[in-house]
Structure 1
Amino acid sequence: MSAFQQGMAPIRAMEDDSDVEEEALVADYQEQVQYGQDDDLDGLDQAALAQAADDLQARLLQAAQPLDYQATLEAKFSSYDNYCSLFHYILNSEGPVDLEPPSYYWAWDVIDEFIYQFNTFSTYRARIARQGNNEEEAQLLKENPNTWGCYSVLNVLYSLIQKSQIQEQLQATKRGEDAALVAGPYGSKALYKMLGYFSIIGLLRVHCLLGDFSLALKTLDDIELNKKAMFARVMAAHFTTYYYVGFSYMMMRRYADALRMFSHILIYVSRTKNFQKNAQYDNINKKSDQMLALIAICVAFQPTRLDDTIHTALREKYGEQLLKLQRGGPESLPVFEELFRTACPKFISPVPPNFDAPESNIDPIEHHLSIFMEEVKTNMFNPTIKSYLRLYTTMDLKKLAGFLDVKPEELRSILFVNKQRNKQIRWNEGALLEGEWVNTSDLDYALQGDLIHISEAKMGRKLVDWYLRNLSRTYA
């Protein structure tokens, strides 16, 4: 294993998983190290563990420091080795490590930077494999498929959660019991408790990056989304949590819940305004713009009354695009694609790319975009259909098909799909995957042969009232 470097990396602003600008990285991080071929977390010998114990304090501080965006491939390999060594020592020492962490801010920074480097390395490796024009780096990456591997990263996060007994502690707190009774020797230490807690947020993020949105939400079963939660004390963690929860809801077609999550954090940011004009403030603004783009997408799928603050910001930033989305039709497709690319996470593949066949490597972002656009195409006539249906109480299917210039049977399929899409699960409390089925539209219809019977959907009005009541409920 390579020796751990003591040089300090430049301070990077709050992690922006979708768009980290190079301008936010203020200096070069030079690492002249050698890295070994053993990338297995469990392959460290006792000498390495002993060496790790000597400079643990310095290494804990260093783990939270960002690696330069333009760092060499050798530096990225070395950073992975250093994280493996550090986490192996913390998790596999004889008994808990007796060391107080600097703060819970530090604990978040460690997990945040760990996942950020995993994300950027995976993206870089996939790009080298697809381009196929850098044989030297491609060969090096091919020979080290486990470096920053998905399994290793998930293993660290799950191990920290398990070792700290953090889920059991959170469950005990929910029941009104003393969490210390179930913490165990590791969970009673602040180092393990904090790393375990933020590993749960890390799992939310990693599973979302891998495209498993239901599992991403499942990881938060034991964390309550309210101002008393530990993640709410760290603005970057707060922002990250709501972004990934909201995005996961959106990809699961739960647009009311996605709108609630995005709106909550944006309103919270607008009300606090306690950031200094620095790189972190700039990145929060960029992330806010991404959330506004996602809100525009959700509102296009499910027209909803928004808070005045959100509505004003949305009109200022994406007013023209929003009008095109609300009109629907084929003209809206490029706008949906543009906003999705702007606001989605940098998805990654769970397996290493195939360097021998570059053409076989699919860009994960393009993959998820194609899935999303299939949903868009299914719903693109919905605004136009609703505009016609509002004018009638009964309408002939063939007549409406003529207005839309589609075949009657194709329109029948569209109507069935849209009616099914109007039924969504709405979260109120408890686990994020739970909820009650509601009608999310203010318009309902039924097909009887070739006749469409139209009526006002009472649940649509109720949903709007619920949304307005609960918009800031988590901070009431």
Structure 2
Amino acid sequence: MGGLQEFYTVPDIVKQWAHYFYRHIRERNIPEIQSMYEISFLKLSDRYYKASPWPEVQHIAEVVDHDHVFCLLYKEMYFRHLYARCQPTLRDRCESWDNYIDLFGLLLTSNVNMQLPNIWLWDMVDEFLYQFQSFCQYRGKVQSMSPEEIENLKKCDKVWNIVEVLNILQALVDKSGIVAELEGDGGARLSQLEGYYPQSSNVLRMLGYFALTGLMRVHCLVGDYFTALKAIYPLNLHERTHLFTPRIPGAHITLFYYGGFSYLMQRRYLDAARCFNAVLLYIYRVKAAHRNSPQYEQMLKKNEQMYSLLAVCLALCPAAAKSLDENVLMQLRERQSDNMAAMARGDIDLYDSLFRDACPKFVTSTPPAYDQATTNTNQLAFRAQLNSFLLEVRSQQTLPQLKQYLLLYSSIALGRLAALMDVEEGALRQQLLCLKAKQRQLKWDGGKDMTAGTWTVASDLEFHIDVDAATGREMVLVSDSQTVATYAPLLAHHISRFEEIVRDLSLPPPVAAAAAAAPAAAAAPAAARA
């Protein structure tokens, strides 16, 4: 009786929403589905379920003819709302996992014929990975759990297992055939038709497309950055002509955030800066249009995180600034100029702080030892990545000072340079070798493999050590390798902008134009009367 009574407490408007939502899905009416998904669901949530879950699926099953597929889709939205507005229990986490298993299993094994909005399909993948990450974070706090909670958690060893998560994402990629399609035309047809092919379902194809980003995200969360970049093949972060993700801001930002971070952790600062530059320009262009979107706050958060990571890139590799757009560089200086100056002086604490604020929430790939856990394993995962990053930073701590001295000379004796820097000649020789090594890094050289590249010198300073034939002393010979700037694109841009301004100035002022139009408007009725 309790369940029956609860059914009748479901507001009529909510039951009507479920009925019409189900009907539009059956009719493949994409505009209506998207409106009900993005607008109506949020309005009803704010009105009836601001701090509570939506009705469980059995309470609306009757108005949707107990349709199995729709019930799975509804439960996906139900758990997403629960995670956003409430505190999920272990049971909620397990039931949501089971629902994803059933939903993705159905899509992978049956002949799917429905069309769903691409934003919903991205949200499915994104929420799937968020809940995986959330479960790993929850599981990592075992030291604060009661014995009963630990025992219940032990029974859930297969729930949100990383191997299962990766297998599901890979199965979506394989079953969708998206890799072969992208290899064929680079995604041109997909972009042209916006993912909706006539007489076919977009569901599996787009889930496979977004699962590529999902695979990269999971590998990045466990610190496997090389595999993370391998996972997005054949998506190309540096050739964005046919990328589909710009149509879905969340997908585009996620792709470039994790791609740029993976490059950063592999000491490929030129490629990392290029990724961050592209997505920061994108956010600058589209954020105003999404001001009322539920994802707006998350967009701004990621924007600030990527400016922090870009500042780190430039502090470790100043030559990366050459690839930045003028607008991005200006915004970066406004936000991070003081921090960049401090990092250039070797402030390790600032590197630490920026990394903490901007890095992903790392997870461990295996459960903790429940009977022996005394520390938060989430912190262990984070510390491992932080220490790896700071180890690289410390290896370059003395290099900015050395570079400043080298910029003052075209040649200087090794002994004199050591005296100026107050170090032994042997230590200076090691620093010079270190600087030479740090100036070389892999840079993407074309192709769809994001891990490929050629070794290049990422510096405007070139030097080598030679022996002076006259004196027999070791000399450091410095040459300026900075390339001459090409101003043609900049001048062309400003010429075009100047022509637009002149054209606008040549138009009559609005008042004069209205005055000129008034006699003509008055003459028209007179002519009609005549």
**TM-score (ref. length: structure 1):** 0.79
For residue 282 of structure 2, the aligned residue among 265, 268, 271 is 268
Please tell me whether the aligned partners of residues 32 and 75 of structure 1 are also in contact (alpha carbons under 8 angstroms). no
Partner of 2:60: none
Matched, 1:394 2:422: no
Relative to structure 1, the CA distance from residue 175 to residue 247 in structure 2 (aligned partners, 3 Å threshold; closer, same or farther) is closer
User: Which letter maps to 2:450?
Assistant: L
How many pairs align? 419
Question: Which structure's residues are more often helix, by fraction?
Answer: 2
Larger Rg: 2
CA distance in 2, matches of 1:178, 1:211: 31
Greater shift, 78-87 or 440-449, is seen at 440-449
Matched, 1:59 2:81: no
SS in 1 for 2:412: strand
Partner of 1:40: none
SS in 1 for 2:352: helix
Per-residue Cα deviation, 1:431-465 (whole angstroms, up to 9, x for no partner): 2112222111011222347735232353x537x87
Per-residue Cα deviation, 1:324-355 (whole angstroms, up to 9, x for no partner): 01222xxx100000000100011111111112
Partner of 2:297: 282
Partner of 1:302: 317
Partner of 1:86: 103
Partner of 2:234: 222
CA distance in 2, matches of 1:212, 1:177: 32
SS in 2 for 1:144: coil
Please tell me whether the aligned partners of residues 80 and 148 of structure 1 are also in contact (alpha carbons under 8 angstroms). yes
SS in 2 for 1:453: strand
Partner of 1:370: 387
Partner of 1:354: 369
For residue 165 of structure 2, the aligned residue among 153, 178, 185 is 153
Partner of 2:53: 29
Please tell me whether the aligned partners of residues 190 and 244 of structure 2 are also in contact (alpha carbons under 8 angstroms). no
State the Cα distance separating 1:398 from its structure 2 match. Answer: 4.2
CA distance in 2, matches of 1:203, 1:245: 11
Unaligned runs of 5+ in 1: 1-5, 14-24, 34-51, 180-186, 470-476
Greater shift, 395-404 or 343-352, is seen at 395-404
For residue 477 of structure 2, the aligned residue among 448, 451, 454 is 454
Partner of 2:208: 196
Please tell me whether the aligned partners of residues 111 and 202 of structure 1 are also in contact (alpha carbons under 8 angstroms). yes
Please tell me whether the aligned partners of residues 218 and 432 of structure 1 are also in contact (alpha carbons under 8 angstroms). yes
Please tell me whether the aligned partners of residues 259 and 298 of structure 1 are also in contact (alpha carbons under 8 angstroms). yes
Partner of 2:439: 422
CA distance in 1, matches of 2:69, 2:101: 13
For residue 457 of structure 2, the aligned residue among 430, 439, 445 is 439
State the Cα distance separating 1:403 from its structure 2 match. Answer: 4.1
Matched, 1:317 2:335: yes
Please tell me whether the aligned partners of residues 29 and 71 of structure 1 are also in contact (alpha carbons under 8 angstroms). no
Greater shift, 365-374 or 411-420, is seen at 411-420
Relative to structure 1, the CA distance from residue 140 to residue 31 in structure 2 (aligned partners, 3 Å threshold; closer, same or farther) is farther
SS in 2 for 1:434: coil
SS in 2 for 1:456: strand
Partner of 2:222: 210
Matched, 1:239 2:253: yes
Please tell me whether the aligned partners of residues 302 and 441 of structure 1 are also in contact (alpha carbons under 8 angstroms). yes
For residue 271 of structure 2, the aligned residue among 254, 257, 260 is 257
User: Which letter maps to 1:456?
Assistant: S
Partner of 1:19: none
Please tell me whether the aligned partners of residues 225 and 263 of structure 2 are also in contact (alpha carbons under 8 angstroms). yes
State the Cα distance separating 1:311 from its structure 2 match. Answer: 2.5
Please tell me whether the aligned partners of residues 439 and 457 of structure 1 are also in contact (alpha carbons under 8 angstroms). no
CA distance in 2, matches of 1:374, 1:135: 38
SS in 2 for 1:445: strand
State the Cα distance separating 1:300 from its structure 2 match. Answer: 0.3
State the Cα distance separating 1:140 from its structure 2 match. Answer: 1.8
CA distance in 2, matches of 1:29, 1:402: 70
Relative to structure 1, the CA distance from residue 231 to residue 404 in structure 2 (aligned partners, 3 Å threshold; closer, same or farther) is same
Please tell me whether the aligned partners of residues 290 and 343 of structure 1 are also in contact (alpha carbons under 8 angstroms). yes
CA distance in 1, matches of 2:50, 2:369: 34
RCO higher in 1 or 2 (8 Å CA, sep ≥ 6)?
1
CA distance in 2, matches of 1:26, 1:438: 54
SS in 2 for 1:289: helix
User: Which letter maps to 1:336?
Assistant: Y
Please tell me whether the aligned partners of residues 442 and 457 of structure 1 are also in contact (alpha carbons under 8 angstroms). yes
CA distance in 2, matches of 1:60, 1:317: 42
CA distance in 1, matches of 2:190, 2:353: 49
SS in 2 for 1:446: strand
Relative to structure 1, the CA distance from residue 231 to residue 176 in structure 2 (aligned partners, 3 Å threshold; closer, same or farther) is closer
Please tell me whether the aligned partners of residues 28 and 68 of structure 1 are also in contact (alpha carbons under 8 angstroms). no
State the Cα distance separating 1:424 from its structure 2 match. Answer: 1.4
CA distance in 2, matches of 1:407, 1:29: 68
State the Cα distance separating 1:262 from its structure 2 match. Answer: 0.4
CA distance in 2, matches of 1:145, 1:396: 64
Unaligned runs of 5+ in 2: 1-6, 15-36, 40-48, 58-64, 192-198, 468-472, 491-530
